[in-house]
Amino acid sequence: MVTPSPYLENELRQHIRKDMTFRVIPDAVEKAPASPAADRPEHAKALAALDDFRKAVSENGISAGRRLVWFGVSGTQAARNGMYDVEAYCDVLRQLNAEAPLSLSIVSDDEGRYRELFANAGFTTHYLDWNFFTFNPALKLHDIAILPIRTNRYTLSKSANRITTAFDNGLAVCASLIPSYEPFQGVAVFDDWNTGLAELMGNPQSRQARIAQAGQIIAEQYSLPVIAGAWRQVFDELS
DSSP H or E stretch at residue 43: helix 41-58
Q: For residue 216, what are the CA distances in angstroms to 4, 27, 169, 187, 236?
A: 19, 16, 13, 11, 28
Residue that wins the pLDDT comparison between 140 and 152? 140
DSSP H or E stretch at residue 143: none
Spell out the domain ranges in the chain: 2-238
pLDDT at 30 over 90: no
Number of Cβ atoms within 10 Å of the Cβ of 199: 14
- Say what the pTM is: 0.94
pLDDT tier, 227 (very low <50, low <70, confident <90, very high otherwise): very high
| β-bridge partners, 185 | 188
What phi-psi label fits residue 100: left (phi over 0), alpha (psi between -120 and 50 degrees) or beta?
beta
pLDDT at 31 over 90: no
Number of Cβ atoms within 10 Å of the Cβ of 186: 9
CB 52 within 8 A of CB 98: no
CB 237 within 8 A of CB 210: no
Span 2-238: which CATH code? 3.40.50.2000
pLDDT tier, 43 (very low <50, low <70, confident <90, very high otherwise): confident
**Predicted pLDDT at 38:** 65
- 81-135 pLDDT per residue, tens: 899 999 999 999 999 999 999 999 999 999 999 999 999 999 999 999 999 999 9
DSSP H or E stretch at residue 191: none
pLDDT tier, 239 (very low <50, low <70, confident <90, very high otherwise): confident
